[in-house]
Amino acid sequence: MLIENCRIVSNESIKVDVFKMEIYCPSMLTIASAGQFLHLRISDSYDPLLRRPLSICSLDTQKGLIVLLYKVIGKGTELLSKKRMGDIVNVIGPLGKGFPIYKDKKTAIIGGGIGIAPLLELSKHLNYPDIYLGFKNDVFLIEDFKGYSRTFYLYTEDGSDGEKGFPTNMFFHNIDKYEIVYTCGPKAMIATVKDICEENNVECYISMEEKMGCGIGACLTCSCKTNNKGKYKKVCIDGPVFNSKEVVFHD
Protein backbone atom coordinates (compact mmCIF):
# COMPACT_ATOMS: atom_id res chain seq x y z
CA MET A 1 0.00 0.00 0.00
CA LEU A 2 1.30 3.44 -0.94
CA ILE A 3 0.19 7.00 -0.21
CA GLU A 4 0.93 9.26 -3.14
CA ASN A 5 0.04 12.56 -4.71
CA CYS A 6 -0.98 11.59 -8.22
CA ARG A 7 -1.40 13.90 -11.20
CA ILE A 8 -4.72 13.81 -13.02
CA VAL A 9 -4.04 13.24 -16.70
CA SER A 10 -7.67 13.36 -17.79
CA ASN A 11 -11.11 13.51 -16.20
CA GLU A 12 -13.90 13.49 -18.70
CA SER A 13 -17.60 12.82 -18.77
CA ILE A 14 -18.33 9.77 -20.92
CA LYS A 15 -22.10 9.72 -20.19
CA VAL A 16 -24.42 11.84 -18.11
CA ASP A 17 -22.96 11.71 -14.55
CA VAL A 18 -20.36 9.07 -15.47
CA PHE A 19 -16.69 10.09 -15.57
CA LYS A 20 -13.50 8.41 -16.63
CA MET A 21 -10.40 9.65 -14.84
CA GLU A 22 -6.78 8.78 -15.61
CA ILE A 23 -4.18 9.37 -12.91
CA TYR A 24 -0.43 9.07 -13.27
CA CYS A 25 0.91 6.80 -10.54
CA PRO A 26 3.49 4.39 -11.97
CA SER A 27 4.70 2.93 -8.66
CA MET A 28 1.18 2.17 -7.39
CA LEU A 29 0.34 0.60 -10.70
CA THR A 30 3.12 -1.98 -10.46
CA ILE A 31 1.62 -3.48 -7.28
CA ALA A 32 -2.07 -3.15 -8.25
CA SER A 33 -4.37 -5.89 -9.49
CA ALA A 34 -7.91 -6.24 -10.84
CA GLY A 35 -10.57 -5.86 -8.15
CA GLN A 36 -8.49 -3.71 -5.80
CA PHE A 37 -9.48 -0.13 -5.08
CA LEU A 38 -7.98 3.29 -4.40
CA HIS A 39 -8.99 5.64 -1.60
CA LEU A 40 -9.02 9.21 -2.87
CA ARG A 41 -8.78 12.37 -0.84
CA ILE A 42 -11.24 14.59 -2.62
CA SER A 43 -10.40 18.01 -1.23
CA ASP A 44 -7.55 19.86 0.47
CA SER A 45 -9.98 21.04 3.15
CA TYR A 46 -11.74 18.86 5.74
CA ASP A 47 -14.94 18.87 3.74
CA PRO A 48 -15.50 16.15 2.80
CA LEU A 49 -13.46 14.65 5.60
CA LEU A 50 -13.53 11.04 4.46
CA ARG A 51 -11.78 9.68 1.43
CA ARG A 52 -13.85 8.06 -1.31
CA PRO A 53 -13.20 4.49 -2.51
CA LEU A 54 -13.05 3.84 -6.26
CA SER A 55 -12.21 0.58 -8.00
CA ILE A 56 -9.30 0.22 -10.34
CA CYS A 57 -11.00 0.05 -13.72
CA SER A 58 -7.95 -0.39 -15.90
CA LEU A 59 -4.15 -0.29 -15.67
CA ASP A 60 -2.13 1.24 -18.47
CA THR A 61 1.35 -0.03 -17.68
CA GLN A 62 2.94 1.59 -20.74
CA LYS A 63 1.85 5.10 -19.73
CA GLY A 64 1.91 4.57 -15.94
CA LEU A 65 -1.79 5.38 -15.66
CA ILE A 66 -4.55 4.00 -13.45
CA VAL A 67 -7.98 4.49 -14.97
CA LEU A 68 -11.00 5.06 -12.71
CA LEU A 69 -14.65 5.10 -13.72
CA TYR A 70 -17.11 6.80 -11.40
CA LYS A 71 -20.68 7.95 -11.16
CA VAL A 72 -21.51 11.31 -9.62
CA ILE A 73 -23.90 10.58 -6.77
CA GLY A 74 -23.08 13.03 -3.97
CA LYS A 75 -20.73 15.71 -2.74
CA GLY A 76 -17.46 13.77 -3.04
CA THR A 77 -17.94 12.52 -6.57
CA GLU A 78 -19.36 15.90 -7.62
CA LEU A 79 -16.16 17.62 -6.41
CA LEU A 80 -14.07 14.95 -8.11
CA SER A 81 -15.83 15.59 -11.40
CA LYS A 82 -14.69 19.25 -11.25
CA LYS A 83 -11.00 18.34 -11.16
CA ARG A 84 -8.97 19.17 -14.22
CA MET A 85 -5.96 17.80 -16.07
CA GLY A 86 -2.84 18.64 -14.04
CA ASP A 87 -4.63 18.75 -10.67
CA ILE A 88 -3.18 16.59 -7.93
CA VAL A 89 -5.16 14.02 -5.98
CA ASN A 90 -3.89 12.26 -2.87
CA VAL A 91 -4.37 8.52 -3.18
CA ILE A 92 -3.96 5.56 -0.84
CA GLY A 93 -3.72 2.27 -2.64
CA PRO A 94 -3.91 -0.26 -3.96
CA LEU A 95 -6.25 -1.50 -1.22
CA GLY A 96 -8.16 -4.69 -0.55
CA LYS A 97 -8.13 -8.14 -2.08
CA GLY A 98 -8.77 -8.39 -5.82
CA PHE A 99 -10.17 -11.13 -8.03
CA PRO A 100 -8.46 -14.53 -8.11
CA ILE A 101 -7.45 -15.15 -11.72
CA TYR A 102 -8.35 -18.47 -13.35
CA LYS A 103 -6.88 -18.36 -16.83
CA ASP A 104 -7.50 -22.00 -17.70
CA LYS A 105 -11.15 -22.20 -16.64
CA LYS A 106 -14.32 -21.40 -18.54
CA THR A 107 -15.28 -18.03 -17.12
CA ALA A 108 -18.09 -15.52 -17.28
CA ILE A 109 -18.25 -11.90 -16.15
CA ILE A 110 -21.55 -10.22 -15.28
CA GLY A 111 -21.63 -6.51 -14.59
CA GLY A 112 -24.34 -3.92 -14.11
CA GLY A 113 -24.22 -0.12 -14.36
CA ILE A 114 -21.26 1.58 -12.72
CA GLY A 115 -20.46 -1.85 -11.21
CA ILE A 116 -18.72 -2.72 -14.46
CA ALA A 117 -15.73 -0.59 -13.27
CA PRO A 118 -13.59 -3.30 -11.62
CA LEU A 119 -14.45 -5.87 -14.30
CA LEU A 120 -12.56 -4.32 -17.22
CA GLU A 121 -9.05 -4.93 -15.85
CA LEU A 122 -10.20 -8.41 -14.80
CA SER A 123 -11.39 -9.27 -18.32
CA LYS A 124 -7.88 -8.59 -19.68
CA HIS A 125 -6.40 -11.31 -17.46
CA LEU A 126 -8.84 -14.11 -18.28
CA ASN A 127 -8.85 -16.26 -21.39
CA TYR A 128 -11.65 -14.53 -23.32
CA PRO A 129 -14.54 -14.84 -20.84
CA ASP A 130 -18.15 -14.52 -21.90
CA ILE A 131 -19.17 -11.03 -20.78
CA TYR A 132 -22.71 -10.00 -19.84
CA LEU A 133 -23.34 -6.30 -19.19
CA GLY A 134 -26.57 -4.65 -18.15
CA PHE A 135 -27.54 -0.96 -17.95
CA LYS A 136 -30.71 1.00 -17.27
CA ASN A 137 -30.44 2.80 -20.61
CA ASP A 138 -27.18 4.72 -21.17
CA VAL A 139 -24.41 2.22 -21.95
CA PHE A 140 -20.70 2.92 -21.57
CA LEU A 141 -17.32 1.24 -22.09
CA ILE A 142 -18.88 -1.56 -24.10
CA GLU A 143 -16.32 -1.42 -26.92
CA ASP A 144 -13.51 -1.89 -24.38
CA PHE A 145 -15.19 -4.99 -22.93
CA LYS A 146 -16.06 -6.46 -26.34
CA GLY A 147 -12.37 -6.70 -27.23
CA TYR A 148 -11.67 -9.03 -24.30
CA SER A 149 -14.76 -11.22 -24.60
CA ARG A 150 -15.46 -14.56 -26.26
CA THR A 151 -19.15 -13.74 -26.54
CA PHE A 152 -20.49 -10.36 -25.51
CA TYR A 153 -24.07 -9.91 -24.27
CA LEU A 154 -25.56 -6.44 -23.80
CA TYR A 155 -28.86 -5.66 -22.06
CA THR A 156 -30.70 -2.44 -21.29
CA GLU A 157 -33.84 -2.20 -19.20
CA ASP A 158 -35.63 -0.11 -21.83
CA GLY A 159 -34.24 -1.95 -24.86
CA SER A 160 -32.51 1.20 -26.18
CA ASP A 161 -29.29 -0.75 -26.76
CA GLY A 162 -28.63 -4.48 -27.02
CA GLU A 163 -31.46 -6.74 -25.86
CA LYS A 164 -34.25 -5.54 -23.60
CA GLY A 165 -34.07 -7.02 -20.09
CA PHE A 166 -31.48 -8.12 -17.56
CA PRO A 167 -28.14 -9.87 -18.19
CA THR A 168 -28.98 -12.49 -15.56
CA ASN A 169 -31.72 -14.04 -17.75
CA MET A 170 -29.34 -15.16 -20.51
CA PHE A 171 -26.63 -15.96 -17.97
CA PHE A 172 -29.04 -18.33 -16.19
CA HIS A 173 -29.70 -20.04 -19.52
CA ASN A 174 -25.92 -20.51 -20.14
CA ILE A 175 -24.78 -21.39 -16.62
CA ASP A 176 -23.74 -24.95 -17.58
CA LYS A 177 -20.93 -23.50 -19.71
CA TYR A 178 -19.01 -21.99 -16.81
CA GLU A 179 -16.62 -23.07 -14.08
CA ILE A 180 -15.92 -19.64 -12.58
CA VAL A 181 -18.09 -16.51 -12.53
CA TYR A 182 -17.20 -12.94 -11.53
CA THR A 183 -19.72 -10.21 -10.81
CA CYS A 184 -20.16 -6.62 -9.64
CA GLY A 185 -23.16 -4.34 -9.80
CA PRO A 186 -26.46 -3.54 -8.10
CA LYS A 187 -27.23 -5.73 -5.06
CA ALA A 188 -30.29 -7.32 -6.70
CA MET A 189 -28.18 -8.39 -9.67
CA ILE A 190 -25.27 -9.83 -7.71
CA ALA A 191 -27.65 -11.62 -5.34
CA THR A 192 -29.30 -13.28 -8.36
CA VAL A 193 -25.92 -14.25 -9.84
CA LYS A 194 -24.90 -15.71 -6.46
CA ASP A 195 -28.10 -17.79 -6.29
CA ILE A 196 -27.76 -19.07 -9.86
CA CYS A 197 -24.12 -20.06 -9.30
CA GLU A 198 -24.69 -21.74 -5.97
CA GLU A 199 -27.71 -23.71 -7.23
CA ASN A 200 -25.52 -24.97 -10.08
CA ASN A 201 -22.32 -25.54 -8.07
CA VAL A 202 -20.38 -22.92 -9.99
CA GLU A 203 -17.74 -20.93 -8.12
CA CYS A 204 -18.57 -17.23 -8.01
CA TYR A 205 -16.61 -14.15 -6.93
CA ILE A 206 -18.43 -10.96 -6.01
CA SER A 207 -17.01 -7.47 -5.63
CA MET A 208 -18.92 -5.93 -2.70
CA GLU A 209 -19.63 -2.30 -1.91
CA GLU A 210 -20.17 -0.93 1.58
CA LYS A 211 -19.86 2.59 2.91
CA MET A 212 -16.26 3.12 3.98
CA GLY A 213 -14.44 5.22 6.51
CA CYS A 214 -10.74 4.47 6.85
CA GLY A 215 -10.37 1.93 4.00
CA ILE A 216 -7.59 0.14 5.90
CA GLY A 217 -9.38 -2.03 8.44
CA ALA A 218 -9.40 0.30 11.45
CA CYS A 219 -12.96 1.64 11.81
CA LEU A 220 -15.49 -1.21 11.13
CA THR A 221 -17.69 1.05 8.93
CA CYS A 222 -17.52 -1.42 6.05
CA SER A 223 -18.48 -4.62 7.91
CA CYS A 224 -20.58 -7.14 6.01
CA LYS A 225 -22.29 -10.25 7.29
CA THR A 226 -20.79 -13.61 6.36
CA ASN A 227 -22.01 -17.18 6.28
CA ASN A 228 -19.57 -18.09 9.03
CA LYS A 229 -21.96 -18.16 12.04
CA GLY A 230 -23.11 -14.65 11.15
CA LYS A 231 -19.62 -13.24 11.70
CA TYR A 232 -18.77 -9.94 10.02
CA LYS A 233 -15.91 -9.24 7.65
CA LYS A 234 -14.44 -5.93 6.58
CA VAL A 235 -15.01 -5.15 2.93
CA CYS A 236 -11.91 -2.91 2.83
CA ILE A 237 -9.35 -5.52 3.86
CA ASP A 238 -11.07 -8.93 3.65
CA GLY A 239 -12.63 -7.90 0.30
CA PRO A 240 -13.94 -6.12 -1.67
CA VAL A 241 -13.87 -9.40 -3.60
CA PHE A 242 -15.43 -12.37 -1.78
CA ASN A 243 -16.33 -15.90 -2.71
CA SER A 244 -20.12 -15.75 -3.05
CA LYS A 245 -20.50 -18.49 -0.42
CA GLU A 246 -18.96 -16.17 2.17
CA VAL A 247 -21.45 -13.33 1.87
CA VAL A 248 -25.08 -13.08 2.92
CA PHE A 249 -27.69 -10.89 1.23
CA HIS A 250 -30.95 -12.15 2.71
CA ASP A 251 -31.53 -12.67 6.42
Binding residues for ligand FAD, rule: CB under 6 A, are 37, 48, 50, 52-55, 69-71, 73-77, 114, 117, 209-212, 235, 240
- Please give the residues from 100 up to 159 whose contact with ligand FES meets the rule CB under 6 A: none
221 lines the binding site for ligand FES (CB under 6 A) = yes
Which stretch of DSSP H or E encloses residue 26? helix 26-30
Please state the closest distance from residue 10 (CB atom) to ligand FAD, in A: 16
Tabulate helix, strand, coil % of the chain (nearest 5): 20, 35, 40
C-alpha R_g of the chain: 17
Residue 92 touches which of ligand FES, ligand FAD, none (CB < 5 to 8 A by kind)? none
Distance of CA 247 to the CA centre of its chain: 17
Query: Among residues 180, 212, 224, 241, which is the contact residue for ligand FES, using CB under 6 A?
Result: 212
Please report, as a single letter, which amino acid is at residue 75: K
Residue 117 touches which of ligand FAD, ligand FES, none (CB < 5 to 8 A by kind)? ligand FAD
Residue 217 touches which of ligand FES, ligand FAD, none (CB < 5 to 8 A by kind)? ligand FES
**Nearest to ligand FAD of 118, 129 (CB atom):** 118
| Distance separating alpha carbons of residues 70 and 18, to the nearest angstrom | 6
**Nearest to ligand FAD of 161, 210 (CB atom):** 210
Residue 201: Cβ within 10 Å count: 8
| Distance separating alpha carbons of residues 42 and 49, to the nearest angstrom | 9
Residue 88 phi/psi, 5-degree rounding, is: -110, 140
50 lines the binding site for ligand FES (CB under 6 A) = no
What is the SS3 assignment for 229? Answer: coil
Tell me the CA end-to-end span of the chain in Å, nearest whole number: 35
**Nearest to ligand FES of 67, 212 (CB atom):** 212
- The pairing of beta strand 107-112 with beta strand 180-184: parallel
214 lines the binding site for ligand FES (CB under 6 A) = yes
Residue 214 touches which of ligand FES, ligand FAD, none (CB < 5 to 8 A by kind)? ligand FES
Query: Among residues 33, 169, 217, 248, which is the contact residue for ligand FES, using CB under 6 A?
Result: 217
Residue 113: Cβ within 10 Å count: 19
**Nearest to ligand FES of 80, 212 (CB atom):** 212
Please state the closest distance from residue 234 (CB atom) to ligand FES, in A: 4
